[in-house]
Amino acid sequence: MPWFVIYTKPRSEKVVAENLRNKGIEVYCPLRKVKRKWSDRYKIVEEPLFRSYCFVNLEENQRSLVFDVPGFVNYLFWLKKPAIVRPEEIEVIKNLLNDFDHEAIQIQSFSIADKIRVNSGILMDQEGEVIAKQGKKIMLFIESLGMSILVDTTKTIVEKVTPF
């Protein structure tokens, strides 16, 4: 059976997953443990690895079973068909969460006007501003060099610079 990707309401991933389990549907909502600070203490909480997404293991003709689950929005589509994730890819995600420190796992997305620092490659330690993005590539304007450079984030380590 294929794994379909479902889109949920914001911050509803765990509730949707629990409701689907109660209906007897196999669901996977990858969670990572993160340290959060409260006013008086730190606490380890589980948050979804992919916000607003869960995976359901169903036959094509069973896809309608999830429509009445509170918090479910829609299936994710790719090329006008429901997006399918192979079982091997689900196993890779499970192994990633089992084998690596959860604090080291981060999903980053960059927006135009974000300040970015390059942490590897020929532009190491350079900072710039995102002026355009296309998939996994971002166009940075590096003021110290006076030029714009295209950076492939799959091959270069970059991070957002947080203002103080």
pLDDT, tens digit, 9 for 90 and up, residues 11-41? 999 999 999 999 999 999 999 888 888 888 9
Are residues 72 and 142 both part of a single domain?
no
Distance set, CA 51 to CA 17, 62, 144, 155 (Å): 13, 24, 36, 24
pLDDT, tens digit, 9 for 90 and up, residues 36-69? 888 889 988 898 988 899 999 999 999 999 999 9
Whether 107 has a pLDDT exceeding 70, the answer reads: no
Are residues 98 and 58 both part of a single domain?
yes
pLDDT at 59: 93
Are residues 82 and 59 both part of a single domain?
yes
pLDDT at 3: 95
Q: Is residue 110 part of a domain?
A: no
pLDDT, tens digit, 9 for 90 and up, residues 118-157? 888 777 888 889 998 887 788 888 887 778 888 887 777 8
Looking at the structure of the chain, the number of domains it has is: 2
Range of the domain at 99: 3-104
Are residues 14 and 92 both part of a single domain?
yes
Q: Is residue 69 part of a domain?
A: yes
pLDDT class of 100 with cuts at 50, 70, 90 = low
Are residues 120 and 81 both part of a single domain?
no
Q: Which helix (H) or strand (E) holds 38?
A: none
Rounded to the nearest 5 degrees, what angle is found at the Cα of 81, between the Cα atoms of 107 and 67?
80
Q: Is residue 55 part of a domain?
A: yes
Q: Is residue 109 part of a domain?
A: no
Distance set, CA 120 to CA 117, 128, 151 (Å): 9, 14, 11
Backbone angles phi, psi at 66, to 5 degrees: -95, -5
Q: Is 84 exposed, middle or buried (0-12, 13-18, 19+ CB in 10 A)?
A: middle
- Alpha-carbon distance 93 to 55, whole Å? 11
pLDDT at 37: 85
Are residues 77 and 146 both part of a single domain?
no
Q: Is residue 33 part of a domain?
A: yes
Q: Is the pTM of this model over 0.85?
A: no
Q: Is residue 145 part of a domain?
A: yes
45: CATH: 3.30.70.940
Least confident of 16-20, 96-100, 103-107, 154-158: 103-107
